[in-house]
Amino acid sequence: MTAISDTKTMQAYVLHGAKDIRLEQAPLPVLSPDEVLVKVRAAGICGSDLHYYAHGKCGNFIPTEPFILGHEFAGEIVAAGDEKNASLVGTRVAVDPSRPCGKCKLCRQGRYNLCPDMVYFGSASVVPPSAGCFAEYVAAPARNCAPLPDDFEYAWGALLEPLSVAAHAVQRSGGVSGKSVLITGGGTIGQMIQLVATAFGATKVVVSDVKSFAREFAIKQGATATLDPTSPDCAAQAAEIAPDGFEVVFEAAGVGAALNQAFALCAKGATLVQVGTLPDGTEIPANALLTRELQYIGSWRFANVFERVIELVVSGRIDVRPLITRRYPFEQFQEAIVDATGADVIKVQIENVS
Ligand SMILES: [Zn+2]
Ligand SMILES: [Zn+2]
């Protein structure tokens, strides 16, 4: 290892169970030759982190031991596991949290987001769980580190992971240019899909959410209109905006009611992209799929877009700054994660300037 201080431990927030995250001294990650040590400067709290925090698990992912959460981050490379990467020390980077096997059929096809041996940062999808970024340092493969342009803030870098999820969903739809678009669910991913769909030339982009905060935010960010699915006028309002239904629909709420609305508002021949994680056993309106010849497709994490979304931000086609609702210093992680569970937030981030 090159150029790292003598400290062998670091501070990290470790998940022990539901509502039980502890600040601990953890061992500094040991680098393999292809890895670099990243000092975390900005980290975002994701919906999946909140699931782990609330329930001690996330869907089917049940941690077998305590681990560090977090997968949206940017920071500075401070050490390299091998001489060949020594020149990277000092580089400001955002880190793609996907570590696929690189060898299986899906990896070789470029669909590495579907790799059965995927190791994602801060996830209990593997045993033991993989360490995440709510810590002072993270060990990351050098190839996962995307250099940030000079005036590109770490906080924006920590938004590249959810932005990649949104860009992948738009890609999965087959394209939105010249089309009417509906997004059900105005959380971080839904709002980012709105931004990407608008940047890629959708004619109308409508966001549906039960929360007025999310609807107002979407309008401020350039959405054509919003829908309140609990309003009795919702169907009439939707018909006014898109009389024949929407041509591309993104379900980003992960709620059965939103899925039903998404199907109901599809135009004939529309594409519906499932982005939100639905509860097991959610019913799908199969006859709507049949009689309107809909295409219902899934979008899981992302592949091959992480570095490219940087350009969307640099070029000004997407302004990510308003998405950051609040930032907390590393020391105030506990306050931050409670804040992130609140109703009126898009993205809460941790920053470490020390
Ligand atoms: Zn996330
Ligand atoms: Zn693979």
pLDDT at position 311, please?
A: 96
pTM here is: 0.95
Cis status, amide bond into 128, omega within 30 of 0: yes
Nearest to 176 by CA among 205, 156, 143: 205
* Structure-block tokens of residue 280: 């097991």
CATH for the stretch 9-159+320-351: 3.90.180.10
What is the predicted pLDDT for the residue at 280?
A: 86
Per-residue pLDDT of the chain (354 residues; tens, 9 = 90+): 444 556 689 999 999 999 999 999 999 999 999 999 999 999 999 999 999 999 999 988 999 999 999 999 999 999 999 999 999 999 999 999 999 999 999 999 999 999 999 999 999 999 999 999 999 999 999 999 999 999 999 999 999 999 999 999 999 999 999 999 999 999 999 999 999 999 999 999 999 999 999 999 999 999 999 999 999 999 999 999 999 999 999 999 999 999 999 999 999 999 999 999 998 899 999 999 999 999 999 999 999 999 999 999 999 999 999 999 999 999 999 999 999 999 899 999 999 998
Query: How far is it, in rounded angstroms, from Cα 113 to Cα 120?
Result: 10
The rounded Å distance from CA 202 to ligand 1 centre is 25
Distance between CA 57 and CA 60 in Å, rounded? Answer: 7
Q: Are 335 and 350 in contact (CB under 8 A)?
A: no
Ligand 2 centroid to residue 116 C-alpha, Å: 6
Q: Which ligand is nearest to the CA of 117?
A: 2
Alpha helix (H) residue ranges in the chain: 47-55, 105-108, 154-157, 160-172, 188-199, 212-220, 234-241, 256-264, 286-291, 308-314, 333-340
Among candidates 301, 348, 277, which has minimal Cα distance to 134?
348
Distance CA 263, CA 271 (A): 10
Cα(292) to centroid(ligand 1), Å: 33
What residues flank ion ligand 2 with Cβ within 5 A? 100-101, 104, 107, 115
* Domain spans of the chain, in order of start: 9-159+320-351, 165-298
* 318 CA → ligand 1 middle, Å: 19
Q: Evaluate whether 97 touches 69 at the Cβ level (below 8 Å).
A: no
Distance in Å, CA 312 to ligand 1 centroid: 19
| CATH number of this structure's domain 165-298 | 3.40.50.720
Q: Which ligand has an atom closest to residue 159 CA?
A: 1
Q: Return the pLDDT at 306.
A: 96
Q: Which amino acid is at 104?
A: C
Please tell me the distance between residue 13's alpha carbon and the centre of ligand 2 in angstroms.
29
CA distance 342 to 353: 25
- Distance from Cα 63 to the centre of ligand 2, integer Å: 22
Instruction: Give, as residue ranges, everything with CB less than 5 Å from ion ligand 1.
Output: 46
